[in-house]
Amino acid sequence: MARKAREKILYGTYLITQTSGTIQPLFRDDRDRTAFLAIVKKVKEKFDFHLYGYCLLAADGYRLLIYDNGSDLSKVMKALNIRYAMYAKCEGKLYKDRYKSQLIQDYRGLLETAQSVYGKEKHCAWNQFSVLLKGERLSELLDPIPNQDTYRPYLINEKESDAVCDRNLPLCERGGTCHRTRKEVEAALRLRAEKSGISLDALIAEKELRNEMILKIRRESTLSLRAIGEIFGLSESAVCKIINR
């Protein structure tokens, strides 16, 4: 039977679930959990995604709340799971199957999902969520969820929201005008080149100016890292390095 296609959108927030196989548990002890979080940190730095929460309490699996921030979620998870498998040194299949991803549709859904996964009274080193109603932040590994104060009424007052994770809606971190297509970004680049009195090719060839524009596009567009790289003739990993400098 063919695998069901994952539900994904550009700039989406997901609940990731991964379970272990039958040979050994995913986390044998807290040293494994510490090693796993260290790997999450390195992968996070490489792909520039945001981590809203994690649960490592169970020995046979983990859960993560991830905002992809324009990165390829499949590549993020591949890097994370391969690196941890190399650390765990399992003689057989460490993971039961591929990870599961659930697209979070709105802010209320995000908070409800977080509460169901993390619980209200179980916050500890291995079980954390970045936005609590008290506004606490328990780990430097976690990123703050945007617009928390604006959208908290969806939870407290039990309001309904049909908003999805999009640039104009609750989980968007950008707000204001945002370029959504490659055509829009290229038009903005041509305008910048004209103002600088150079051609678009010259702008792209000038490394310092090119890197400045890559950072600007990352902030002001919904293009993926791969799409940004294609505009400048760079690989996705090269774009990641420029963004994370």
Q: Fill in the amino acid letter for 56.
A: L
Cβ contacts of residue 195 below 8 Å, gap of 6+?
A: none
pTM of the model as a whole: 0.66
Q: Residues 91, 52: one domain? A: yes
Encoding tokens for residue 210?
A: 């090119």
**Count of domains for the chain:** 2
The answer to whether residue 216 sits within a structural domain is yes
Q: Are residues 146 and 87 in the same domain?
A: yes
pLDDT (tens digit, 0 to 9) for every residue of the chain, 245 residues total? Answer: 445 555 556 678 899 999 998 888 999 999 999 999 999 999 999 998 999 889 999 999 999 999 988 889 999 999 999 999 999 888 888 888 899 999 887 766 777 787 778 775 567 888 888 765 444 556 788 887 766 655 555 545 544 443 333 344 444 544 445 676 788 888 888 888 888 888 888 888 888 888 888 888 877 776 777 888 888 888 888 887 787 66
Q: Judge whether 131 lies within some domain.
A: yes
Q: Is there a single domain that holds both residue 148 and residue 206?
A: no
Range(s) of the domain holding residue 124: 13-154
Same domain, residue pair 192 and 234: yes
